[in-house]
Amino acid sequence: MGQAMTYDNLERRLKMFTLDTTSNIAELMCHPGYPSDTFIGGCGTGRPDEFSCSFDRQHEFDLLFSEEFRQLLTKYNIHLGTYADVDQCYI
Q: Which residues of 54-91 are buried (b: 16+ CB within 10 A; e: fewer)?
A: bebbebbbebeeeeebeebeeeeeeeeeeeeeeeeeee
What confidence score (pLDDT) does residue 63 get? 93
Q: Is the pTM of this model over 0.75?
A: no
Confidence class of residue 91 from pLDDT cuts 50, 70 and 90? Answer: low
pLDDT tens figures, 20-74: 888 777 888 888 888 888 777 666 667 787 778 888 889 999 999 999 999 999 9
